[in-house]
């Protein structure tokens, strides 16, 4: 059923449709199956695999990863405030920027679909919006103030809130995953490193502004 699901999800990406989770019960038995579906759909769509999302529940993991759609989607469920890193050939951070992850689902149940099906569907990714790049340097991440203003909603103002305390902490796990089949990653690959403050719901197209102290801000 994995091959069938790969083709079905690839069609959803091309044509904008959605699947019912109940129709695919048992198709994804574990994380290995979910990652196999990700790999197959990305290959079917011709993605260059130069953008990724990675995150973890805490500094010791568990971690999860998926390629990111190179084309930003429009009909969204929400956005996440993030910090993206650009890495060198050894997977070390060389640049960083403010980033907005776009969240959508190819499942009719949306974020209520079973976790493994959501993982297979690129962890509900719908693209990535990036601010201006600047050289990477460690910051006081736990005290870092960030602001997210979405059209028609109250501005969110917080300090810290990243599950790993340091966004770069996910890179070793990401590199192991991205190169697990012997495929080298290219220098300049972008890795967005997990949400600050969770999911911020939106309907349709997202418009707003995101800023991090010391990193700048951008409008989207």
In which band, very low, low, confident or very high, does the pLDDT at 100 lie, cut at 50, 70 and 90? very high
Give per-residue pLDDT as tens, 163-184. 899 999 999 999 999 999 998 8
In this model, does residue 106 exceed pLDDT 90?
Answer: yes
| The pLDDT of residue 125 | 97
Lowest mean pLDDT among 55-59, 79-83, 119-123: 55-59
In this model, does residue 118 exceed pLDDT 90?
Answer: yes
Average predicted confidence (pLDDT) for the chain: 96
| The pLDDT of residue 184 | 87
In this model, does residue 10 exceed pLDDT 90?
Answer: yes
In which band, very low, low, confident or very high, does the pLDDT at 156 lie, cut at 50, 70 and 90? very high
Give, in order, the Cα–Cα distances in Å from 98 to each of 114, 158, 172. Answer: 30, 15, 21
Percentage of residues of the chain with pLDDT beyond 90: 92
In which band, very low, low, confident or very high, does the pLDDT at 204 lie, cut at 50, 70 and 90? confident
In this model, does residue 88 exceed pLDDT 90?
Answer: yes
| The pLDDT of residue 74 | 81
The C-alpha atoms of residue 6 and residue 124 are separated, in whole angstroms, by 15
Lowest mean pLDDT among 52-61, 82-91, 106-115, 121-130: 52-61
Q: Which of 116, 139, 117, 118 is nearest to 193 (CA)?
A: 139
**Mean per-residue pLDDT for 129-150?**
97
In which band, very low, low, confident or very high, does the pLDDT at 116 lie, cut at 50, 70 and 90? very high
| The pLDDT of residue 203 | 85
Percentage of residues of the chain with pLDDT beyond 70: 100
The C-alpha atoms of residue 120 and residue 28 are separated, in whole angstroms, by 8
**Mean per-residue pLDDT for 90-114?**
97
- pTM, two decimals, is 0.95
């Amino acid at each position: 059923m994995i091959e069938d699901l790969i083709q079905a999800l690839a069609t959803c990406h091309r044509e904008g449709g959605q699947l019912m989770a109940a129709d695919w019960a048992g198709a994804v038995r574990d994380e290995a199956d979910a990652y196999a579906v990700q790999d197959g759909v990305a290959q079917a769509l011709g993605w260059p695999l130069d953008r990724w999302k990675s995150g973890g529940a805490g500094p010791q993991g568990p971690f999860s990863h998926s390629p990111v759609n190179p084309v930003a989607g429009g009909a969204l469920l929400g956005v996440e405030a993030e910090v993206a890193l650009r890495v060198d050939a050894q997977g070390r951070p060389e640049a960083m920027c403010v980033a907005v992850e776009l969240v959508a689902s190819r499942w009719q149940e949306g974020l209520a679909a079973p976790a493994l099906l959501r993982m297979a569907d690129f962890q509900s990714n719908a693209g990535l919006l990036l601010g201006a790049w600047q050289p990477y340097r460690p910051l006081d991440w736990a005290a870092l103030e960030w602001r997210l203003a979405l059209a028609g909603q109250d501005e969110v103002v917080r300090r810290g809130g990243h599950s790993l305390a340091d966004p770069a902490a996910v890179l070793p796990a990401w590199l192991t995953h991205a190169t697990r089949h012997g495929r080298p990653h290219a220098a300049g690959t972008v890795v967005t490193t997990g949400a600050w403050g969770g999911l911020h719901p939106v309907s349709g197209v997202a418009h707003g502004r995101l800023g991090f102290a010391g990193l700048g801000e951008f409008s989207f």
